[in-house]
Amino acid sequence: MSYVEEVLAKVKEKNASEPEFLQAVEEVLESLKPVIEANEDVYRREALLERLVEPDRQIKFRVPWVDDKGQVQVNTGYRVQFNNAIGPYKGGIRLHPSVNTGIIKFLGFEQIFKNSLTGLPIGGGKGGSDFDPKGKSDREVMAFCQSFVSELYKYIGADVDVPAGDIGTGAREIGYMYGQYKRLTNLYEGVLTGKGLTYGGSLARKEATGYGLLYLTRELMKCHGQSMEGKICCVSGSGNVAIYAAQKAQQMGAKVVTVSDSTGWIYDPEGIDIELLKEVKEVKRARLTEYAAARPSAQYHEGRGVWQIKCDIALPCATQNELFLEDAKQLVANGCTAVCEGANMPTTLDATKYLQDNGVLFVCGKASNAGGVATSALEMTQNSERLSWTFEEVDAKLEQIMINIYHNIDDAAKRYGMEGNYVAGANIAGFEKVATAMIAQGVC
């Protein structure tokens, strides 16, 4: 058995109840095989893979809070500090009923490689809770966030671990969390990113993941002799990543014809009206039925179905495992040329393989959605400098980072004889820096 297979077997045995974590580890380790095999003796002696797949620490805690009826509610909080070989732990906080240890571990594990790819000094971590902000009053969300941070604050800090937003955690939640951290520690420091602009937030952070996705997609297309102009794009999701991905795609001359949420999806052949979508999702926090009601050209459908619409480029921006093998087949049959992930691990392993085997340009989230965390790291830099950069400065840095990521993953794939395999390229390029740092720092 090869070293990779041995480690994979151990991970499966030890984490059998965490399918998303196993999926993420399998994807990474399988694609690292050529790198590991080239240095197998060293990596084996160092137990490098065993160390890489075991978080530095996992924190799990009770989050009690009082709802508007005076009833005490109890949620579970998580923070997984996975690897800080190249910088302080960095990764978002997910608030969604589906959150459990396995999901936070998969996200934290992916974050190690993504953060490395940005070229910035940030390690991998992730956190969250099974709390659902949907349908809660602002006071209830504040009560939850204050309780969550009353425990989490012990483990985070501007040079230790810097959480950010993710599904269910936007500017409102980050604000409440930051306020409570400040109150408990008396520190005014860059401990969270995605902050409001009046208290240390960075311009362009809100737009960064979606914009970054499109900067990378455009570079990918350019290097394959194509442009974004006139391309039909299918986007899934209608949250932070989806909205700004759709906006930038339209600014680049493409037409985005779909968005979705957890109850249904929109097909709008005239192109999604971004301002209306923002009004429905960012201001009213409403369902997509409201978008359809206000837009005669839009068709609303219950359930899932975005990937059946004919498109040139597919941008999954909702959540993990939302693009399945049958969707991949439909995309290929419809002539789709590129799939770039805005969400984390939205494409299942068999769907990824099908897309790659059928000549679709496929870029995995840890490369294509790294613009969010990269801009979070730029927010940390501004906080350390006590300065605020302009939108244009941050956006220009983000664009350059995404172009660099594309070329780094392309080069890494070519170096190991896997030209065009951007999943392998991303994993290899992300891994190399972390592995070198881990070995240099000794057994820890």
367 vs 428, which CB is nearer to ligand NDP? 367
Q: Does 129 bind ligand NDP (CB under 6 A)?
A: no
| Residue 217: C-alpha distances to residues 117, 253, 295, 337 (Å) | 16, 13, 28, 11
| Residue 7: C-alpha distances to residues 14, 29, 33, 54, 139 (Å) | 10, 9, 12, 11, 46
31 vs 375, which CB is nearer to ligand NDP? 375
* Catalytic annotation, pick one of 90, 105, 114, 126: 126
Nearest alpha-carbon partner for 378 in 107, 178, 195, 249: 195
- In angstroms, give the least distance from the CB of 288 to ligand NDP: 8
Site string for ligand NDP, 278-317 (x = CB under 6 A): ---------------------------------------x
Q: Does 377 bind ligand NDP (CB under 6 A)?
A: no
- In angstroms, give the least distance from the CB of 15 to ligand NDP: 20
150 vs 260, which CB is nearer to ligand NDP? 260
Residue choice 147, 202, 209, 352 for contact with ligand NDP (CB under 6 A)? 209
**Tokens of residue 395, six digits:** 């956006």
- In angstroms, give the least distance from the CB of 8 to ligand NDP: 24
**Tokens of residue 138, six digits:** 């602002």
Q: Which residues, numbered 152-191, are part of the site for ligand NDP (CB under 6 A)?
A: 165-168
SS3 327: helix
Count of positions on this chain that bind ligand NDP (CB under 6 A): 22
Verify whether residue 126 is a known catalytic residue: yes
CA atoms of 40 and 63, how far apart (whole Å): 44
Strands in 161-164's sheet, in edge-to-edge order, are 57-66, 72-83, 123-129, 89-95, 161-164
**Tokens of residue 70, six digits:** 């005076």
Q: Which residues, numbered 212-251, are part of the site for ligand NDP (CB under 6 A)?
A: 237-242
Residue choice 36, 235, 266, 318 for contact with ligand NDP (CB under 6 A)? 318
Locus of tokens 């989806």: 242
Buried b (16+ CB within 10 A) or exposed e, 70-80: eeebebebbbb
Cβ-contact 102, 66 below 8 angstroms: no
Cβ-contact 144, 109 below 8 angstroms: no
- In angstroms, give the least distance from the CB of 187 to ligand NDP: 24
227 vs 263, which CB is nearer to ligand NDP? 263
- In angstroms, give the least distance from the CB of 317 to ligand NDP: 6
344 vs 383, which CB is nearer to ligand NDP? 344
**Tokens of residue 227, six digits:** 């442009």
Locus of tokens 């659902």: 132
153 vs 265, which CB is nearer to ligand NDP? 265
Site string for ligand NDP, 345-374 (x = CB under 6 A): ------------------------x--x--
Q: Does 100 bind ligand NDP (CB under 6 A)?
A: no
Nearest alpha-carbon partner for 212 in 408, 411, 395: 395
Residue choice 32, 233, 343, 426 for contact with ligand NDP (CB under 6 A)? 343
Estimate the crossing angle of helix 19-38 against helix 3-14, to 10 degrees: 160
- In angstroms, give the least distance from the CB of 138 to ligand NDP: 17
Residue choice 27, 110, 173, 261 for contact with ligand NDP (CB under 6 A)? 261
CA atoms of 107 and 109, how far apart (whole Å): 5
- In angstroms, give the least distance from the CB of 398 to ligand NDP: 12
Q: Which residue numbers are catalytic?
A: 126
Residues that bind ligand NDP (CB under 6 A): 165-168, 209, 237-242, 261-263, 317-319, 342-344, 369, 372
